[in-house]
Amino acid sequence: MSSVILLFVSAIGYLIAYHTYGKFLSHKIFSICAKNITPAQTMRDDIDFVPSKKQVVFGHHYASIAGTGPIVGPAIGIIWGWVPAIIWILFGSIFMGAVHDLGSLVISLRNRGESIGEISRRLINPRVRLLFLLVIFFSLWIVVAIFCLVMAVLFNMFPESVIPIWTQIPIAIALGNYLHRNSKHTVIMTVAAVVLMYITIIIGSYIPVTMPTVFGISPLTSWTIILLIYTYIASVIPVWKLLQPRDFINAYQLLVALGLLFFGIVAAQAPIVAPAFNFHPQGAPPLLPFLFVTIACGAISGFHCMVSSGTTSKQLSTEPDAIFVGFGSMLIEGFMAIMVVIAVSAGIGMMVKNTDGTTLTGVQAWSHFYSSWGAMEGLSAKVGAFVKGAANLLNAIGIPHSIGITLMGVFVASFAGTTLDTSTRIQRYVINEVAHTTNLNFLKGRHGATLIAVLFAALLALSQGGGKGGLILWPLFGTSNQLLAGLSLLATTVYLLKKKKPALYTFIPMVFIILFTGWAMIHNLSTFFQDGKWHLFFIGGAILVLELWMIAETAIMHFTTRKNDGFYAKSQQF
DSSP track, 528-551: HHHHT-HHHHHHHHHHHHHHHHHH
Q: What is the helix (H) or strand (E) element at residue 353, kind and residue range?
A: strand 352-353
Q: So what's the pLDDT on residue 571? A: 44
Which DSSP string do the residues of 101-130 spell out, in sequence order?
HHHHHHHHHTTTT--HHHHHHHHT-HHHHH
Which residues fall within 8 angstroms of residue 355, CB to CB, at 6 or more apart? none
What letter would DSSP give residue 298? G
Q: So what's the pLDDT on residue 380? A: 66
Residue predicted with more confidence, 248 or 344: 344
Q: So what's the pLDDT on residue 572? A: 45
* 37 three-class SS: strand
pLDDT digits (tens, 9 = 90+) for 464-516: 776 677 777 777 888 888 888 998 999 999 999 989 999 999 999 999 999 99
Asked if 18 and 327 count as a contact pair (C-beta separation under 8 A), the reply is yes
Q: So what's the pLDDT on residue 570? A: 47
* 182 three-class SS: coil
E strand intervals along 356-497? 359-360
Buried b (16+ CB within 10 A) or exposed e, 254-289: beebeebbbebbeebebebbbbeebeebeebbebeb
- CATH for 3-573? 1.20.1740.10
Residue predicted with more confidence, 269 or 205: 269
Beta-bridge mates of residue 359: 353
Cβ neighbours around 136 below 10 Å, total: 29
For the residues 274-278, what does the mean pLDDT come to?
Answer: 93
User: In this model, does residue 565 exceed pLDDT 60?
Assistant: no
353 phi and psi angles, rounded to 5 deg: -95, 130
pLDDT digits (tens, 9 = 90+) for 344-380: 999 998 988 776 678 888 888 888 888 888 776 666 6
For the residues 306-323, what does the mean pLDDT come to?
Answer: 93
* 444 three-class SS: coil
pLDDT digits (tens, 9 = 90+) for 481-495: 888 899 899 999 999
Q: So what's the pLDDT on residue 173? A: 92
Confidence of residue 227 (pLDDT cuts 50, 70, 90): very high
Alpha-carbon span 153 to 461, nearest angstrom: 13
Alpha-carbon span 110 to 89, nearest angstrom: 30
Q: Which of 431, 456, 427 is nearest to 442 (CA)?
A: 431
What letter would DSSP give residue 36? S
Alpha-carbon span 314 to 169, nearest angstrom: 22
For 410, how many CA atoms within 13 A lie in the half-sphere containing its CB? 31
Helices (H) and strands (E) in the chain, counts: 26, 2
Beta-bridge mates of residue 37: 318
Mean pLDDT score across all residues of the chain: 87
Alpha-carbon span 223 to 363, nearest angstrom: 37
Alpha-carbon span 573 to 531, nearest angstrom: 49
User: In this model, does residue 31 exceed pLDDT 50?
Assistant: yes
CA distances from 436 to 39, 107, 130, 430, 459 (A): 19, 21, 13, 10, 25
Choice among 76-90, 161-175, 227-241, 427-441 with the minimum mean pLDDT: 427-441
Q: So what's the pLDDT on residue 252? A: 81
Which DSSP string do the residues of 142-174 spell out, in sequence order?
HHHHHHHHHHHHHHHH-GGGHHHHHHHHHHHHH
* 217 three-class SS: strand
Which residues fall within 8 angstroms of residue 206, CB to CB, at 6 or more apart? none
Which residues fall within 8 angstroms of residue 531, CB to CB, at 6 or more apart? none
What letter would DSSP give residue 280? S
pLDDT digits (tens, 9 = 90+) for 92-138: 999 999 999 999 999 999 999 998 888 888 888 887 888 788 888 88
Alpha-carbon span 453 to 455, nearest angstrom: 6
User: In this model, does residue 574 exceed pLDDT 60?
Assistant: no
Alpha-carbon span 350 to 364, nearest angstrom: 10
Confidence of residue 90 (pLDDT cuts 50, 70, 90): very high
Top mean pLDDT of 70-74, 175-179, 316-320 is at 316-320
Q: So what's the pLDDT on residue 158? A: 83
Top mean pLDDT of 8-17, 142-151, 529-538 is at 8-17
Confidence of residue 328 (pLDDT cuts 50, 70, 90): very high
Give pTM, 2 decimals: 0.88
Asked if 491 and 449 count as a contact pair (C-beta separation under 8 A), the reply is no
Name the CA radius of gyration of the chain, rounded. Answer: 22
Q: So what's the pLDDT on residue 183? A: 66
Q: Which of 172, 51, 116, 101 is nearest to 426 (CA)?
A: 116
- Displacement of CA 530 from its chain's centroid (Å): 31
User: In this model, does residue 243 exceed pLDDT 90?
Assistant: no
Q: So what's the pLDDT on residue 121? A: 82
Residue predicted with more confidence, 454 or 556: 454
* 360 three-class SS: strand
In percent, the amount of the chain with pLDDT more than 90 equals 40
Q: So what's the pLDDT on residue 201? A: 85
